[in-house]
Structure 1
Amino acid sequence: MPNYDAHVLSGIITYPLAVALAGILADYAGIPFKLTSMAMVLGYALYVLGADLPDMDHPNALIHRGTKPIVAVLLGSAVYMWAAERIHLSQPWMSQTAAWGVGAVGAVVGWYGFTAVMPRHRGVVHSLLFATIYGFLAFLLGPYGLHISTGEGLFLGFSAFSGYTLHLILDGSVKLI
């Protein structure tokens, strides 16, 4: 099976094919992709990330080890923000320190929880279902997160889905669920 380098380099090299396919689908199938420079640059990042993202279910994979601290920090920060509204001690710095203490506990839970909730390697995360979820989240990022047009968002979703699917093809394991 391909390793990290093979997956990522395949994404880097094959992205022009995804752009061509999007152009063909826009011209001949009427899909309203908007291929702006911004959408194509963001699409490139999502495509290449998707080319390795299915391996996040493998505890030794670089993508897993890179995603795990991000999840921990995001969860810890969210818990801090929740705690900061509820903890009121005599000094503001004491309240902030206590809230960050609670946030750090949340981060540790996120750290261990991330691996605990990951299914077995090449399980459901290695599926077209997750490729679709990744593509849908990338689409939402466009108009709702980055405030770019719906057509640009559609291209982001297509790029993300295509990169993720590339990984499945390279693994020789394209399944629905």
Structure 2
Amino acid sequence: MPNYDAHVLSGVVTYPLVVAIAGFLSSKGVPFELSTMALVIGYTLYVLGADLPDMDHPNALIHRGTKPIVSVLVGGATYINLAGSINVGEQWLNTAVAWGIAVAAALVAWYAFTWMMPKHRGIVHSLLFAAVYGALAFLLVEYGLDMASGEGLYVGFAAFSGYVLHLLLDREVSLL
């Protein structure tokens, strides 16, 4: 099975093929918008997707890189939701207590991330998860970045394609 370098470098070098396919589909009526920003975001999520299915392996670089990001995001989101609602005294103490609770949530997320991951080459190595990744990319672009729907569709397609590239390289393409 290919390693990290093989997956990521395959994503790096095959992206022009995805651009060509999207351009062809666009010429046939698929409403992709291949703006410069969509192409750059698409490239990023395509290459990330080329290794993302291995996040279910605790020793994989993508797993070790994703776990702290998830933990920090959970901690940050917890703080944002608590800020202003903690009242144990002075403002500096309220802020420190809110961050203490946020750090506890981040620690829970740290350990839950690995605990909740299914077995390696399980459901995360599936077309279902490729579709979920593509849908999340679309939502990020259209609603998170407030870009055009056609740009979101293209980025979702690129993300999905990168994820599928990983599955093809592993020679393990399954629906679920």
What TM-score bracket applies, with the shorter chain setting the length? over 0.9
Matched, 1:102 2:127: no
Q: One-letter code of the match for 1:95?
A: N
Matched, 1:52 2:51: yes
Structure 1: gaps spanning 5 or more residues: none
Matched, 1:138 2:137: yes
Q: One-letter code of the match for 1:116?
A: W
Q: One-letter code of the match for 2:109?
A: G
Match of 1:74 in 2: 73
What is the TM-score when the length of structure 1 is the normalising length? Answer: 0.97
Match of 1:160 in 2: 159
Match of 1:5 in 2: 5
Query: Runs of 4+ in structure 1 displaced over 4 angstroms?
Result: none
1:62-113 Cα shifts (integer Å, max 9, x gaps)? 0000000011011111222233233112211101111111111000000000
Match of 2:111 in 1: 112
Q: CA RMSD in A?
A: 0.8
What is the TM-score when the length of structure 2 is the normalising length? Answer: 0.98
Q: One-letter code of the match for 2:68?
A: P
Q: One-letter code of the match for 1:52?
A: D
Percent identity over the alignment is 64
1:119-142 Cα shifts (integer Å, max 9, x gaps)? 000000000000000000101111
Residues of 2 paired with 1:20 and 1:57: CA distance? 31
Structure 2: gaps spanning 5 or more residues: none
Q: One-letter code of the match for 1:47?
A: Y
Residues of 2 paired with 1:82 and 1:44: CA distance? 33
